[in-house]
Structure 1
Amino acid sequence: MSEPVFLLLFLLEFFVGSIMFSYWLGKIKGKDIRQTRDGNPGGSNLGRVFGWKWGMAGIVLDFLKGYVPLVFVVELGILQNWRLAIVSVAPVLGHAFSPFLKFSGGKAVAVTFGIWSALTRWEVPVLLGTIFTIFSLTRVIRKKGKTTPADDAARVMVGMLAVLVYVLMRGIPYLLPVWCMNMAILFYRHQRDIKAILVNQGSKRNAR
């Protein structure tokens, strides 16, 4: 595959990823969701502001922009190895650093589900979904109420560690660099929430 085609696919995937559906759905409802809650212009924040139906719409659209373009690249065998790895992460990069929002963006969880659905034929999303469900059920059982951004960050990090185990067990070479790049972006976009978790844990230890 020629370098121009590789570059074109990267730019296309990045562009599609950078379309901030949840932000624009919020604007349709008359509010900039970046100015509410945790300021995340993604589906989870959209749902917290306007209800689960709007949140689900944003999440599905964010998922599809990660899945649809990439699944064609994967199934048609257009790219392999490191080129496929780089193009795979482009939608996540576009969502996290959207040029339409002055290179700011969302936390890239739904689009992460999308790219891994395309790369692993739904195996990783089933794994992540199971972990997310366990987190949610645990919270319900413990009567903790609604999840917080810090809770979301915790389950994303734990989920991605489980994905790493999956990647190492499968032994497919290009999946490891995809995971590394994806994890780096997710960690960066969740860093404020991760710091909140660490501060909270430190406070609990000091209170003992």
Structure 2
Amino acid sequence: MEFIKIIYLVFTYLLASIPFGYVIGKLFGKDITKEGSGNIGATNVTRTIGKKAGILVLILDMLKGFIPVFYSIKLFSPDYRFVGVVALTAVLGHCFSVFMKFKGGKGVATGIGVLLAVSPKVAFIVILIWLGTFLVSGYVSLASILAASLSWVIYVFLEGNIYITFAILIASFIIVMKHSSNIERLLNGTESRFLHK
């Protein structure tokens, strides 16, 4: 069983490492790492290629988090310690992709996919926080930082599994750290709005 778990974690990491934003960018003849913000996530794809491509990347990046975590619950439950490791591995794979020299996206969409697998109601609230912040401020980065920061707190109150909580807490920290340049620009007033007020 332990060997199967190791194989499953390797599968999770490799799946999450697939840089869908970069791949789709190449299909449109663009190197997304050299366009816009240089990020491979859905926001930069939307800005540089278009809304349809951005939505596709968003869905695919969410599935990278949802699929391995959902099936780890089905296959290994009630081993929620392992499920937590799978959840964290998915976010790590997206943020530090082996296919991108251990660079990657910022983990927001993949993190939402993880939340959808472990608790749809928590995911729903986190998405509402993201949407509310985004619509009020116009900043994707601020919405992502706030939603990530609150996700583990919401999970504690609504679900409370210690292993999943710990995984979400670490994943949230990684996501916020991946936004460090955005935080600096927000503080300096130089961050670009996605929605212009």
Q: 1:173 to 1:71 in 2, by over 3 A?
A: same
In structure 1, the gaps of 5 or more residues are 140-146, 202-208
Number of residue-to-residue matches in the alignment: 189
TM-score (norm 2): 0.89
Task: Tell me which residue corresponds to 1:173.
Answer: 162
* 2:183 equivalent to 1:194: yes
**Distance across 2 between alignment mates of 1:16 and 1:33:** 20
How far apart are 1:111 and its partner, in Å? 0.7
Task: Tell me which residue corresponds to 1:143.
Answer: none
Q: Helix, strand or coil for the counterpart of 1:107?
A: coil
**Distance across 2 between alignment mates of 1:115 and 1:84:** 10
Task: Tell me which residue corresponds to 2:150.
Answer: 162
Task: Tell me which residue corresponds to 1:58.
Answer: 57
1:73–1:79 CA contact under 8 A, matched in 2: no
**Distance across 2 between alignment mates of 1:69 and 1:183:** 18
Which of 126, 136, 147 lines up with 1:128 in the alignment? 126
2:33–2:39 CA contact under 8 A, matched in 1: yes
**Distance across 1 between alignment mates of 2:15 and 2:75:** 19
How far apart are 1:37 and its partner, in Å? 1.3
Could you tell which deviates more after superposition, 125-134 or 160-169?
160-169
2:148–2:175 CA contact under 8 A, matched in 1: no
How far apart are 1:131 and its partner, in Å? 1.1
**Distance across 1 between alignment mates of 2:132 and 2:66:** 24
2:131–2:143 CA contact under 8 A, matched in 1: no
**Distance across 1 between alignment mates of 2:73 and 2:166:** 16
1:18–1:95 CA contact under 8 A, matched in 2: yes
1:63–1:110 CA contact under 8 A, matched in 2: yes
Runs of 4+ in 1 over 4 A off after TM superposition: none
Q: Deviations over 1:20-74 (max 9, x none)?
A: 1111000010000110111101111111111111100111111112112221111
Could you tell which deviates more after superposition, 161-170 or 109-118?
161-170
How far apart are 1:78 and its partner, in Å? 4.4
1:92–1:112 CA contact under 8 A, matched in 2: yes
RMSD (CA atoms): 1.7
Q: Helix, strand or coil for the counterpart of 1:14?
A: helix
Q: Equivalent pairs: percent with the same residue?
A: 28
How far apart are 1:182 and its partner, in Å? 0.6
**Distance across 1 between alignment mates of 2:177 and 2:126:** 19
2:73–2:80 CA contact under 8 A, matched in 1: no
How far apart are 1:79 and its partner, in Å? 6.0
**Distance across 2 between alignment mates of 1:29 and 1:171:** 43
Could you tell which deviates more after superposition, 61-70 or 159-168?
159-168
Task: Tell me which residue corresponds to 1:18.
Answer: 17
**Distance across 2 between alignment mates of 1:128 and 1:16:** 24
2:76–2:83 CA contact under 8 A, matched in 1: no
